[in-house]
Amino acid sequence: MKNNKENNLYAVILAGGVGSRFWPLSRQLAPKQFLKVVSDKTLLEQTILRVNKLIPSKNICVITNQHYLFEIKKELEQFGIPDKNIFLEPLGKNTAPAIALAARYLFLKDHNSSMIVLPSDHIISKNKLFINAVKDASALADDGYLVTLGVVPQKAMTGYGYIKTLNKISPKSKGYLVDKFIEKPGLEKVKGFLKQRNYFWNSGIFIWKTSVILSEIKKYTPSLYSKIISVYPNKDITKIWQKITPISIDYAILEKSKLVSMIPARFAWSDVGSWQALKDILGNDKNDNVLKADSYDVDSKNILVWSKDRFVATLGLKDLIIVDTPDALLVCKQDYSEKVRKIVDFLKDKNREEYIYHKKVNRPWGSYIVLQYDFDFKVKLVEIDPKKRLSLQFHRKRAEHWVVVEGIARVTCGKMVKLVRSNESIYIPAGKVHRLENPSGNKPLKIVEVQTGKYLKEDDIIRLRDDYKRV
């Protein structure tokens, strides 16, 4: 096998987390990595774009779980990343097991492979500096080091982990030996760190040879190692995964291994760990406000307003975070933004749905929003992505009226197939086999669906054929 960078450097993107401090924008089924918080790309898409400059699509892998599979597939498709590069964790077990699994898979594929591990939900700008840092780290990894990227700290952040470095590995090396990792220190300590210049933010980005990380995992967490090597080939991962103890890669390996080194990096980085952190990234106006909303303010200072659906009026506020979504509203003093998790815990505890779904539900073919749900009728706004179609299906108990409000639909209803254009409608009687399709290559299709019947739950659907194997 040809041994050049392009072929044996892999990216492994961790995309299985929820990011519950971003509630109500993030939900269990709409996690932080899928949010478009700073551009029209999701954080995951931005992460892929970043590494794709250096690593070809076929070498980019993503670790996630079953719930996020269709959304991940949609995002990966546009980059030409094959489905086989998606690893599904049966259960979240923190970072070490996920990384070990990917390392083992890539090692079996190529004993000489290296991997760069990246969180999917961070923000990095100054991409050139990022690429350079990765290149330097990659060279160091080839020498047998476990390499971390340490970001030169810009201000006294208490919410981050820090890396304390020792000397350079050698006078000519770009890498430093690592003394220790410090998890979320107090403000006084952090201020001291900034003066000493040998403390860096732990970016959570790591580069190493798969052979090296696996041998360190074997050394420091042999129980995890033995479980991981039993996964390939073809073992029942679900059973194995159940027995694994959750543990982070930092705690399991990096804080113990003698092989750890660090490349300092000067790119702008944030883990966007809270609404407060996001506000710090977004551009303030002259009153330090960030108004990402249809809004009007009187005399407020240092507030973030985030709303897509509703007019928001703010008067005389200070240091607040306001996040408005169709079914839940958050109003939070900024220094409480780390505590948003408490709200999610409350909702879980009460068995409510506001922490699981949005009103808008994503599907592999697009999405729908329930506009009204009454006893004997339901109104949905359904959006079908270009070139996508729903399954060929029928409903036992409900009829459907579709009014096309944007784009053109190709509708199958019994033996008839016809185009239904904007401002036209069609009726699908109960029991009739039908299919809805967006034949356009670039325009979305939107329909208003009025369902009528005595039983209107989502489970009244019999799929006969489906592009997404849900039959």
C-alpha 146/C-alpha 138 separation (Å) is 10
Segment contacting a copy of itself (CB under 8 A): 93-101, 217-225, 337-345, 461-469? 337-345
Give 396-435 as a DSSP string.
SS-EEEEEEEESEEEEEETTEEEEEETT-EEEE-TT--EE
Q: Angle at the Cα of 37 (from 339 to 387), degrees rounded to 5?
A: 130
Q: Does 448 bind a copy of itself (CB under 8 A)?
A: yes
Residue from 177, 240, 403, 433 binding a copy of itself (CB under 8 A) = 403
Per the structure block, which two tokens stand in for 373?
């749900």
How many Å is the maximal CA-CA distance in the chain?
78
By CB under 8 A, residue 29 contacts a copy of itself:
no
CA distance 68 to 76: 12
Comparing CB distances to a copy of itself, the nearer of 85 and 337 is 337
* Residue 302 C-beta: closest distance to a copy of itself, Å: 13
From the list 13, 48, 330, 436, which residue makes contact with a copy of itself (rule: CB under 8 A)?
330
Question: What are the angstrom distances between the C-alpha of 56 and each of 10, 43, 292?
Answer: 8, 19, 35
CA-based radius of gyration for the chain:
25
C-alpha 313/C-alpha 196 separation (Å) is: 45
| Contact criterion met (CB below 8 Å) for 365 and 467 | yes
Please report whether residue 312 would count as binding a copy of itself according to CB under 8 A.
yes
Neighbours of 131 (CB within 10 A): 15
Residue 6 in contact with a copy of itself, rule: CB under 8 A: no
**DSSP string for residues in 237-263:** HHHHHHTPPP--HIIIIITT-S-EEEE
Q: Quote the least distance from Cβ 215 to a copy of itself, whole Å.
A: 46
| Smallest separation, CB 410 to a copy of itself (Å) | 19
Q: Does 423 bind a copy of itself (CB under 8 A)?
A: yes
> For a copy of itself, which is the closer residue by CB, 116 or 330?
330
Is residue 377 at the binding interface for a copy of itself, with CB under 8 A as the rule? Answer: yes
Amino acid at 427: Y
Question: Which among 180, 167, 324 is positioned nearest to 250, based on CA atoms?
Answer: 180
Place of tokens 């036992």: 396
| Residue 31 CA, distance from chain mean position | 6
Out of 192, 299, 387, 465, name the contact with a copy of itself by CB under 8 A.
299
Residues 347-366 that bind a copy of itself (CB under 8 A): 347, 352, 354
Q: Give the interface segment with a copy of itself, choosing from 1-9, 95-103, 371-379, 389-397 (CB under 8 A).
A: 371-379
- Amino acid 22 reads F
* List 405, 408, 433, 461, residue binding a copy of itself (CB under 8 A): 405
Among 296, 387, 462, 471, the residue binding a copy of itself under the rule CB under 8 A is 296
Please give the size of the binding site for a copy of itself, defined by CB under 8 A: 58
> Looking at residue 32, what DSSP letter applies?
G
Q: Which region among 12-20, 112-120, 170-178, 402-410 touches a copy of itself (by CB under 8 A)?
A: 402-410
Q: Please, are residues 279 and 25 in contact by the beta-carbon 8 Å criterion?
A: no
Among 243, 313, 351, 454, binds a copy of itself (CB under 8 A): 313
- 444 vs 441: CA distance, rounded Å: 9
Residue 337 vs 412, nearer CB to a copy of itself: 337
Q: How far apart are CA 175 and CA 78, in angstroms?
A: 35
Residue 382 touches a copy of itself, criterion: CB under 8 A: no
Q: Cβ closer to a copy of itself: 189 or 348?
A: 348
Burial state string for 98-122 with b = 16 or more CB within 10 A and e = fewer than 16: bbbbbbbbbbeeeeebbbbbbbbbb
What single-letter amino acid sits at 369? I
| Nearer Cβ to a copy of itself (83/345) | 345
427 lies in the site for a copy of itself, by CB under 8 A: yes
Query: Does position 77 bind a copy of itself by CB under 8 A?
Result: no
Please state the closest distance from residue 351 (CB atom) to a copy of itself, in A: 13
Task: Work out whether 376 is an interface residue with a copy of itself (CB under 8 A).
Answer: yes
Among the candidate windows 38-46, 207-215, 260-268, 376-384, which touches a copy of itself by CB under 8 A?
A: 376-384
Contact call for residue 315 and a copy of itself (CB under 8 A): yes
Q: Out of 328, 384, 409, 456, which residue is the one contacting a copy of itself (CB under 8 A)?
A: 328
Q: Is 298 a residue that touches a copy of itself (CB under 8 A)? A: yes
Structure tokens at 7: 């072929």
- Residues making contact with a copy of itself (CB under 8 A): 23-24, 296, 298-299, 307, 310-318, 320, 322, 324, 326-333, 335-337, 339-340, 342-343, 346-347, 352, 354, 369, 371-372, 374, 376-377, 379, 381, 399, 401, 403, 405-406, 422-423, 425, 427, 446, 448, 450, 452
